[in-house]
Amino acid sequence: MKLGTLYLENRYILAPMQNVTTSPYRRFCRKFQKIGLVCVPMLYTKRIEKNPETIVDDLCKIEKERPISVQLISSDPRSLKKSIDYLESYKFDVLDINAGCPSKRAIKAKEGGYLLKDLERLENLVKIAVKNSSKPVSLKIRIGFEDSNNIKELAEIANNSGIDFLTVHARTVKSFFEHNPLNLDIVKKLKENLTIPLVGNGDIASPIEANYFIDYTNVDALMIGRESMGNPQIFDQIHEYFTKGKEILFRNDKEKMLQNIEIYKRCLDEFLNGIILPRNINEYKFMELKRNSIWLAKSIKNSAIIRRQISNTKNLKQLELVLNNM
Ligand SMILES: Cc1cc2nc3c(=O)[nH]c(=O)nc-3n(C[C@H](O)[C@H](O)[C@H](O)COP(=O)(O)O)c2cc1C
């Protein structure tokens, strides 16, 4: 399928999630199925300017993960341009601009979701990205800041700024996450006002929900985040449903969990092979394996007990002992 000038093998995208969709995680999800595009979570342009060496683990080896998108979060045109220049030496496929992050830090810094209430600043940043990036540019938004009254203006900016596609999380910035339902009516309206492709995102946790999202809104592609945590096969489940009408249900048990943890370890080793990280490798491995083991225990018998045991471990040795004794 095509998203602007970008050709993708399918219309499923692994969402950018800070401290989740790391390189080992993206590799892990791809071990189970093809995924059209995977995303590096947001990189702060101020951080790139001050300490570019701290983003080594985010970017090293990304050329082996293509098609891949790299996301920047910024409030400042000069800092954005400098970061784009810095990224030019890396091989990736899409430069994404974050205009949806709802964190207090982002809003205070006038970046991420803040941009949805300062459309002039948003438009300026997007134009700078398009002008300075040699790669296609995309924009990731929510359906508005507090409400969606400016959705038509947002569509106009997206249409006229030269970006290849837009991604929308179907909530406002103020509504954070699951406590508030999605608003697919606004996504539908946004799609009707766009001349560029739209990727839909939010709460997709099954093939039925994926089907409903597309049917209702007519979006061109789907982005999935949290459901992949513990269910790396979600993309395959959706694909099977769309292509063969087959609904594969998510099932997990201890054996499958341990198998998946083994696969994760291999992805970690693959990633770590031959690279130098600006931090302790054992600590990195431990944190990666611990949080993913917890997610991979999703829905198994005694899941709460097992998760607690894993979460009480303090180092790699303890974690491996717990996993080996399961
Ligand atoms: C832990 C976490 C970290 C996230 N980090 C980012 C990020 O770096 N950039 C971004 O655009 N969105 C980020 N998001 C939002 C997701 O990309 C996605 O829009 C959101 O989770 C809704 O999709 P889902 O319901 O499929 O998870 C993050 C979400 C979570 C849960």
Smallest CA separation from ligand 1 atom 13, residue: 17
Mean pLDDT score of the chain: 96
What phi, psi does 131 have (nearest 5°)?
A: -65, -35
Q: Is the pLDDT of residue 177 over 70?
A: no
Smallest CA separation from ligand 1 atom 6, residue: 17
- pLDDT of the residue at 245: 93
For the Cβ of 41 lying below 6 angstroms from any atom of ligand 1, the answer is yes
Q: pLDDT (tens digit, 9 = 90+) per residue, 84-104?
A: 999 999 999 999 999 999 999
| Residue 288, CA atoms < 13 Å, CB-side half-sphere | 26
**101 carries an active-site annotation:** yes
Written as six digits, the tokens of 119 are: 């459309």
Query: 249 in a domain, yes or no?
Result: no
At which of 210, 244, 278 does a domain end? 244
- pLDDT of the residue at 279: 84
pLDDT-above-70 percentage for the chain: 99
Torsion of CA 278, 86, 163, 147, to 10 degrees: 50
Please list, residue by residue across 114-128, b when 16 or more beta carbons sit within 10 angstroms of its beta carbon and e when fewer do. Answer: bbbbbbebbbebbbb
The domain tally of the chain equals 2
What domain range includes position 284?
254-324
Length of the chain: 326
Same domain, 34 and 157: yes
Same domain, 238 and 288: no
For the Cβ of 140 lying below 6 angstroms from any atom of ligand 1, the answer is yes
Q: Is the pLDDT of residue 176 over 80?
A: no
At residue 14 the predicted structure's pLDDT band, cuts being 50, 70 and 90, is very high
For the Cβ of 45 lying below 6 angstroms from any atom of ligand 1, the answer is no
Residue 146 near residue 77, CB atoms below 8 Å: no
Same domain, 185 and 308: no
Average pLDDT value for residue range 287-315: 97
Torsion of CA 93, 268, 13, 52, to 10 degrees: -40
Same domain, 178 and 289: no
Q: Containing H/E element for 317?
A: helix 316-324
Counting from 1 in the atom list of ligand 1, the atom nearest the Cα of 96 is 11
Residue to mutate, 12, 13, 17, ligand 1, most ligand atoms under 8 Å from C-beta: 17
- Cα–chain center distance at 127: 23
At residue 178 the predicted structure's pLDDT band, cuts being 50, 70 and 90, is low
pLDDT-above-90 percentage for the chain: 93
Same domain, 197 and 283: no
Tell the burial category of 63 from Cβ atoms under 10 Å away from its Cβ (0-12, 13-18, 19+).
exposed
Residue 27 near residue 1, CB atoms below 8 Å: no
Same domain, 83 and 215: yes
Same domain, 273 and 137: no
For the Cβ of 81 lying below 6 angstroms from any atom of ligand 1, the answer is no
User: Is 311 in a helix, a strand, or coil?
Assistant: helix
Distance 225 CA to ligand 1 centre (A): 6
At residue 180 the predicted structure's pLDDT band, cuts being 50, 70 and 90, is confident
CATH number of 26's domain:
3.20.20.70
Counting from 1 in the atom list of ligand 1, the atom nearest the Cα of 226 is 27
Counting from 1 in the atom list of ligand 1, the atom nearest the Cα of 201 is 23
- pLDDT of the residue at 179: 66
At which of 244, 273, 307 does a domain end? 244
At which of 244, 267, 295 does a domain end? 244
Same domain, 294 and 198: no
d(CA 138, CA 15): 13
For the Cβ of 102 lying below 6 angstroms from any atom of ligand 1, the answer is no
Same domain, 150 and 266: no
Q: Is the pLDDT of residue 50 over 90?
A: yes
Counting from 1 in the atom list of ligand 1, the atom nearest the Cα of 100 is 11
Same domain, 197 and 289: no
Task: Give this prediction's pTM.
Answer: 0.97
Smallest CA separation from ligand 1 atom 5, residue: 17
Q: pLDDT (tens digit, 9 = 90+) per residue, 240-289?
A: 999 999 898 899 999 999 999 999 999 999 999 999 888 899 999 999 99
Tell me how far apart the terminal alpha carbons of the chain are, to the nearest angstrom: 43
For the Cβ of 225 lying below 6 angstroms from any atom of ligand 1, the answer is yes
Smallest CA separation from ligand 1 atom 15, residue: 17
For the Cβ of 17 lying below 6 angstroms from any atom of ligand 1, the answer is yes
- pLDDT of the residue at 262: 98
Same domain, 182 and 260: no
Average pLDDT value for residue range 41-62: 93
- pLDDT of the residue at 301: 94
Q: pLDDT (tens digit, 9 = 90+) per residue, 108-153?
A: 999 999 999 999 999 999 999 999 999 999 999 999 999 999 999 9
Written as six digits, the tokens of 125 are: 């940043």
Residue 1 near residue 23, CB atoms below 8 Å: no
d(CA 84, CA 87): 5
Counting from 1 in the atom list of ligand 1, the atom nearest the Cα of 171 is 22
Smallest CA separation from ligand 1 atom 22, residue: 202
Q: Containing H/E element for 235?
A: helix 234-244
- Cα–chain center distance at 219: 17
Distance 252 CA to ligand 1 centre (A): 24
For the Cβ of 197 lying below 6 angstroms from any atom of ligand 1, the answer is no
Q: Which residue in 29, 39, 101, 267 is the catalytic one?
A: 101
Same domain, 33 and 91: yes
d(CA 312, CA 318): 9
